[in-house]
Amino acid sequence: MTKRRIFSAIAVLVLFLGLTLTIGQRWIGDRLFNRAVERNAGVDVTAQLPDGLHAYVCGSGSPMPDADRAGPCIAVLAGKQGFIFDAGSGSIRKLGRMGFPMNRLQGAFLTHLHSDHLDGLGELMLQAWMAGGRSTPLPIYGPPGTNRVVAGFIEAYDIDRGYRIAHHGPEVARPGGFGGEAMIINTTGPEVVYQSGGVTIRAIPVDHFPVDHAFAYRVEYSGRSLVISGDTKYSQDLSKFANGADVLFHEALNSSMVGKIGESLEKRGIKDGAKIMADIPDYHTSPEDAARVAQSSGVKTLVLYHLVPAPPLRVVERAFIGDASDLFDGQLKVAEDGMFVSLPAKSQTVEIDQLL
């Protein structure tokens, strides 16, 4: 065989393999996709869950930009009823990926009206309407002013509402199910704000000055309970409120890390940013103080969330929590998006899994 023939044969072989690989990749991709759809689309992954109280960390972050952490959001499934506490940016998509059953959503609860806790509210109202199949607006519980926030989101989504009804028809995009209905909470002490079907939700004011109204919530179902701090300074009242709960989700800010960011900004002449870094520690709680709250309330598990700054790596988590683990005898976890905390009824166990 001449050199030219050998070269031609190799060229044909390479072309053939290339074509096979391209066509094969497409075939494999199609098969994988179809299989994943058949297995997952429309499947209620919560059907296998035991009866109990289950919490989804749909957002463990803060206003600081972070590709891995959505804004603050904890969703709860209590028996067959679903609730969402805060809807930070990006959290509702995470919740969808975690398999939260939007059709069981009974209401959303806002801890306070800082934007990082409600900037996903439009997406939540849309998902509650379309994925949740609602025919009445979603009840949205929150402090005075929640009515203005909800009205604003309704206005912002009003054009989209019309398009969806026109496209899918009113039998699917039920016109009455769009939007939210503000349910104002204005309590000065622990107060029941929701009670139905064996689920009790209480609210208590916490100190997040200069925010006028900020609440922590406690959810109880079938002998199990969890508490969500929202944004607050170190609070003895919160400790009493969380007494004996199974899990406390508490916000956490590491002031020396925030101070370090401030110093760097100052050195680079970014004075506004440095001022903001200097301002924020005084209305949040350190990991150590969150541990003190957990210890005095006797909770089994403390999950730190709304992390400021969010540790970018596992190894930084240890530095973030500082001495917190020495101050709390129970289980201490740093939240990640996708964390799933399960409290089965008629049991004392706290099971933690990672869904994302």
Report, as residue numbers or ranges, the catalytic residues.
116
Query: CA 274 to CA 145: how far, in whole Å?
Result: 30
**Which segment (108-116, 126-134, 158-166, 307-315) binds Zn ion by CB under 5 A?**
108-116
Q: How far is the CB of 352 from Zn ion (least distance, A)?
A: 23
Q: How far is the CB of 229 from Zn ion (least distance, A)?
A: 11
Q: How far is the CB of 250 from Zn ion (least distance, A)?
A: 13
Q: Is 350:247 a contact under the CB 8 Å cutoff?
A: yes
What SS3 state is found at 205?
strand
In the complex with Zn ion, which residue's Cβ is closer, 123 or 220? 123
In the complex with Zn ion, which residue's Cβ is closer, 91 or 225? 91
Please choose, from the candidates 117, 128, 104, the residue with its C-alpha nearest in 3D space to the C-alpha of residue 54.
Answer: 104
Residue count, binding to Zn ion (CB under 5 A): 3
Query: CA 93 to CA 139: how far, in whole Å?
Result: 20
Q: Which residues of 215-233 are buried (b: 16+ CB within 10 A; e: fewer)?
A: bbbbbbbbebbbbbbbbbb
Strand order in the sheet with 215-221: 191-196, 199-205, 215-221, 224-228, 247-253, 301-308, 331-334
Q: How far is the CB of 62 from Zn ion (least distance, A)?
A: 6
**Which segment (5-13, 37-45, 109-117, 182-190) binds Zn ion by CB under 5 A?**
109-117
* Contacting residues for 200 by C-beta, under 8 A, at least 6 apart: 192, 194, 219, 220, 221
Residue 119 found at the interface with Zn ion (CB under 5 A): no
Q: 106: burial class by Cβ within 10 Å (0-12, 13-18, 19+)?
A: middle
Residue 114 found at the interface with Zn ion (CB under 5 A): yes
Query: How is residue 301 written in tokens?
Result: 């598990």
Q: How far is the CB of 330 from Zn ion (least distance, A)?
A: 24
Residue 66 found at the interface with Zn ion (CB under 5 A): no
Q: How far is the CB of 157 from Zn ion (least distance, A)?
A: 23
In the complex with Zn ion, which residue's Cβ is closer, 214 or 332? 214
For residues 220-259, which are near Zn ion according to CB under 5 A? 231
**Which segment (106-114, 119-127, 147-155, 253-261) binds Zn ion by CB under 5 A?**
106-114
**Contact letters (x/-) for Zn ion, 4-43, by CB under 5 A?**
----------------------------------------
**Which segment (12-20, 34-42, 111-119, 127-135) binds Zn ion by CB under 5 A?**
111-119
In the complex with Zn ion, which residue's Cβ is closer, 114 or 292? 114
- Complete DSSP assignment for 218-282: EEEETTEEEEE--S-S--HHHHHHTTT-SEEEEEEE-HHHHHHHHHHHHHTT-HHHHHHHHHGGG
Sites of contact with Zn ion (CB under 5 A): 114, 116, 231
